[in-house]
Structure 1
Amino acid sequence: MAVIELDSVPSILDVYSRAVLSALPVVGASGTSLPDDTLLLRGVRVDQDNLAEYAKVCGLRFGDTLPITYLFTLTFPVVMKLMVSKGFPFAAMGSVHAENVIEHRRPISAGEPLDIRVHAADLREHRKGLLVDVVTEISVGREPVWHQRSTFLHQQRTSLSGTPKPEPEPEHIPAVPTSTLRVDQKTIDRYAAVSGDRNPIHVSRLGAKAFGFPRTIAHGMWSAAAALRAVEGRIPDKVTYAVRFGKPVLLPATVNLYAQHVADGWDLSLRHPTEQYPHLSATLR
């Protein structure tokens, strides 16, 4: 892979302009391969005010070390720059964040300079379309401290279209939720501002309808962060947080948060309060 070193954090405005352009049917992205580039951004520093607002809007503690999900927002501009680059196989706008796996290798201080590397991997077919992994690696000096694999789905026909849907695994849902979360547009607007993720499906009713949603929806990674409030203070220093996103959270909404202690960690989920379908299913190991 060719390494392209960036001299500054990519402009979110520029990234979204390119995302809109790539979504147009005449000039939009399409292909069967991935870009060979790795994007590198050195010496990134955490903005303390941004971190404090992130913790507040997600319901997490603000302290000297970073929440394990916070680095998703710090790396988001670089991830988006890769996804709107020439050679990416589908448009970033309208793609679905299907899964996210974070390997948190040690506590990360808010004052440490961070080197960020982002590349794409494993383009593959799915019964609903094409999947691709965007891999983010963060190091402090030569020490790898955080690794993320974000899986995105572009809905289209593939050779697997029409194959039977796999049988769902049996689930045990506790009778009583650990807590109940209320999320509205004001919360998600604040998260969009602090994370830089202003995708129209989250912040614009018209934009959400353009992509098939009846109302705006919560960010998946807001949900992933908010779910961690149930186990704060009990998360090991070295941990893997694997999240699968289910049905979107339509705003405004009330969702039930479940946290079950298991032998090697925690099982977490966010569910609709009456119909019990999952918005998010996750494991901490």
Structure 2
Amino acid sequence: MAVIELDSSPSVLDVYSRAVLSALPVVGAKGGTLPDDTLVLRGLRVDPDNLAEYAKVCGLTFGDTLPLTYPFMLTFPVVMKLMVSKGFPFAAVGSVHAENVIEQQRPISVTEPLDVRVHAENMREHRKGVLVDVVSEVAVGREQVWRQTSTFLHQQRTSLSGQPRQDPPKEEIPPVPTSTLRVDQKIISRYAAVSGDRNPIHVSTLGAKAFGFPKTIAHGMWSAAAALRAVEGKVPGAVTYAVKFGKPVLLPATVNLYARRDADGWDLSLRHPKKLYPHLTATLR
């Protein structure tokens, strides 16, 4: 596996320009293997102003340590750079962020210099297409403090496409939500600006329609962060946050937030207020 050292955080604007090109026919022709590269960015510093705006737009508290989901912001440009590389098996634009697992070993101070490593692994077939895990690791010196596995789906026919769908087990949904969240285009445009994730499906009605959505949709990782407001101050420093994304949140929307405690941690979900289908289900352990 080749290690590629980056001099600075990649320009997200440049990365998205390449992502759009890679989604075009011929220009975006992709192979059937994963890149062997590990991208490394050392000495990354947190911008307190960016962190403060992130906390505000996600409804979280701004403090001396990073919110559990914030390192996603720091690793995102490097993840995108890997996903638009020639060796990546499918185009980044149009792929679906299906699942996300964050493993935090300890709280991360705002002032600590961070080293980021990103690689791809575990390409496999799914009844809806091809799945790939993009792994992001954050270290302070030699100590790994945070690790994320983001699973992306490229929708296409595979040898599993004919398999019947397995319905998920029925869930016991509390009759009353913990709270309700209101999200609109203004909030998501602010999140896009602070995160650098300006994917057209989030910020442009025409862009959203081009990828099959009737309206713009909320970022999955905005939803993952916003759900944590229900358990702020109750999450231990060493924790695993496993998220599955369901139906997208069409903007504007009001969603129900549910938080249920059990012996091992918390179960969280964001659901449609009337039909109760999940936009997001998650566990904190």
TM-score relative to the length of structure 1 = 0.99
Counterpart of 1:116? Answer: 116
CA contact (8 A) 1:29 1:87 kept: no
Once the two structures are superposed, residues 149-177 of structure 1 have per-residue CA deviations (whole angstroms, 9 ceiling, x without a partner) of: 00000000000002100121120100000
Can you give the 5+ residue segments of structure 1 that lack an aligned partner in the other structure? none
CA contact (8 A) 1:33 1:88 kept: yes
Deviation, 1:74, is 1.0
Deviation, 1:21, is 0.5
The equivalences for 1:32-43 within 5 A come to: 32-43=32-43
The equivalences for 1:19-168 within 5 A come to: 19-168=19-168
Can you give the 5+ residue segments of structure 2 that lack an aligned partner in the other structure? none
Deviation, 1:195, is 0.4
Deviation, 1:31, is 1.8
Q: Which amino acid aligns with 1:241?
A: Y
Cα distance in 2 for partners of 1:239, 1:137 equals 15
**Secondary structure at 2:18 match in 1:** helix
CA contact (8 A) 2:30 2:86 kept: no
**Secondary structure at 1:13 match in 2:** helix
The equivalences for 1:181-260 within 5 A come to: 181-260=181-260
Q: Which amino acid aligns with 1:150?
A: S
Q: Which amino acid aligns with 1:78?
A: V
Cα distance in 1 for partners of 2:127, 2:204 equals 29
Once the two structures are superposed, residues 26-71 of structure 1 have per-residue CA deviations (whole angstroms, 9 ceiling, x without a partner) of: 2114221100000000000000000000000000000000001000
Cα distance in 1 for partners of 2:267, 2:244 equals 12
Cα distance in 1 for partners of 2:71, 2:29 equals 27
**Secondary structure at 1:54 match in 2:** helix
Counterpart of 2:174? Answer: 174
How many corresponding residue pairs?
Answer: 285
1:271 aligns with 2:284: no
CA contact (8 A) 1:256 1:273 kept: yes
Deviation, 1:244, is 0.1
The structure 1 segments of at least 4 consecutive aligned residues displaced by more than 3 Å after TM superposition are none
Aligned-CA RMSD value: 0.5
Cα distance in 2 for partners of 1:262, 1:254 equals 26
Cα distance in 2 for partners of 1:91, 1:73 equals 20
Once the two structures are superposed, residues 217-259 of structure 1 have per-residue CA deviations (whole angstroms, 9 ceiling, x without a partner) of: 0000000000000000000110000000000000000000000
Cα distance in 2 for partners of 1:169, 1:28 equals 38
Q: Which amino acid aligns with 1:134?
A: V
Q: Which amino acid aligns with 1:45?
A: R
Cα distance in 2 for partners of 1:146, 1:229 equals 20
Cα distance in 1 for partners of 2:104, 2:171 equals 27
Deviation, 1:183, is 0.0
**Secondary structure at 2:31 match in 1:** coil
Counterpart of 1:12? Answer: 12
Q: Which amino acid aligns with 1:276?
A: L
CA contact (8 A) 1:31 1:88 kept: yes
Once the two structures are superposed, residues 182-201 of structure 1 have per-residue CA deviations (whole angstroms, 9 ceiling, x without a partner) of: 00000000000000000000
Q: Which amino acid aligns with 1:118?
A: V
Q: Percent of aligned positions with the same letter in both sequences? A: 82
CA contact (8 A) 1:10 1:81 kept: yes
Deviation, 1:4, is 0.2
Cα distance in 1 for partners of 2:240, 2:177 equals 23
